[in-house]
Amino acid sequence: VAGINAYTTDILSGRPKIAKVKKRKRKIATMTTDTRKRVKLYALNADRQWDDRGTGHVSSQYVERLKGMSLLVRAEADGSLLLESKIQPDTAYQKQQDTLIVWSEGDNFDLALSFQEKAGCDEIWEKICQVQGKDPSVEITQDIVEESEDERFEEMSDSAPPVELPPCELSRLEDISEAIVSGLATPLRKEKLSMALESENYIEKLLNLFHMCEDLENVEGLHHLFEIFKNIFLLNKNALFEIMFAEDTIFDVVGCLEYDPSLSEPRKHRQYLRQMAKFREALPIKNQNLLAKIHQTYRVQYIQDIVLPTPSVFVEDNMLNTLSSFIYFNKVEIVTLIQEDEKFLVELFGMLTDPKTLAVKRRDLILFLKEFNNFAQNLQPQGKDTFYKTLTTLGVLPALEITLAMTDQKTKAASIDILTSIVEYSSSTVRDYTLQQDNTQDPKNMLVNIALVQMLSDSEPELGGAVQLMGVIRILLDPENMLASVNKSDFLNFFYKHSIKILVGPLLANTAGDKPAKEDYHTAQMLGLILELLSFCVEHHTYHIKNFIMQKDLLERILVLMKSTHTFLVLGALRFVRKAIAMKDEFYNRQIVKFNLFAPIVDAFIRNNNRYNLLESAILEFFEFIKLEDIKTLCTYFVEKFGKVFEDIEYVQTFKSLKTKYDQHQERFKDRDKIMDSIPMIRNIRHRRDQRQLEEEEEIWFNEDDDFSDVPASKADLDTSLEVVNGPKMNSSTPVSTATTTTTVIPTLLQTSASPTIPSTQTQNPTQQQSGILQQTHPTHPLQSQQSPPQTAVSSNLNNVNNNSKGSSGQVLGEANKTIAEDTKSIVSGTIKKGLVDYEGDSDDEDDEESSNTPQQKKARLA
User: Is 317:238 a contact under the CB 8 Å cutoff?
Assistant: no
Confidence of residue 245 (pLDDT cuts 50, 70, 90): very high
Specify the pTM: 0.61
**SS3 of residue 788 by DSSP:** coil
Determine the pLDDT at residue 108: 63
| Residue-range domain boundaries for the chain | 34-158, 170-329, 597-676, 678-857
User: Is 131:145 a contact under the CB 8 Å cutoff?
Assistant: no
Per-residue model confidence as pLDDT tens digits over 693-706? 544 554 454 444 44
Q: Give the bridge partners for 74, in sequence order.
A: 57, 81
Calpha distance 90→92 (Å, rounded): 6
Residue 249 neighbours by CB under 8 Å, 6+ apart: 203, 204, 207, 243
Determine the pLDDT at residue 489: 84
> Is the predicted pLDDT of residue 314 greater than 50, yes or no?
no
Amino acid at 321: N
Percent of the chain's residues with pLDDT above 70: 69
Nearest to residue 573, comparing CAs of 515, 613, 630? 515
> Is the predicted pLDDT of residue 354 greater than 90, yes or no?
yes
> Is the predicted pLDDT of residue 631 greater than 70, yes or no?
yes
Determine the pLDDT at residue 500: 95
> Is the predicted pLDDT of residue 338 greater than 50, yes or no?
yes
Per-residue model confidence as pLDDT tens digits over 796-829? 443 443 444 344 334 443 454 555 556 656 665 6
Confidence of residue 488 (pLDDT cuts 50, 70, 90): confident
Residue 671 neighbours by CB under 8 Å, 6+ apart: 708, 711
User: Is 21:8 a contact under the CB 8 Å cutoff?
Assistant: no
Determine the pLDDT at residue 36: 79
> Is the predicted pLDDT of residue 751 greater than 60, yes or no?
no
How do 68-75 and 81-86 pair as beta strands?
antiparallel
Average pLDDT in the 233-238 region?
90
Calpha distance 571→564 (Å, rounded): 10
Residue 716 neighbours by CB under 8 Å, 6+ apart: 736, 806
Determine the pLDDT at residue 441: 79
> Is the predicted pLDDT of residue 684 greater than 80, yes or no?
no
Per-residue model confidence as pLDDT tens digits over 583-614? 999 999 999 999 999 999 999 999 999 899 99
Q: Which of 211-220, 351-360, 427-436, 846-855 has the lowest mean pLDDT?
A: 846-855
> Is the predicted pLDDT of residue 82 greater than 60, yes or no?
yes
CATH code linked to domain 34-158: 2.30.29.30
- Three-state SS string over 54-88 comes to EEEEEEEEEECCCCEEEEEEEECCCCCEEEEEECC
Average pLDDT in the 486-505 region?
89
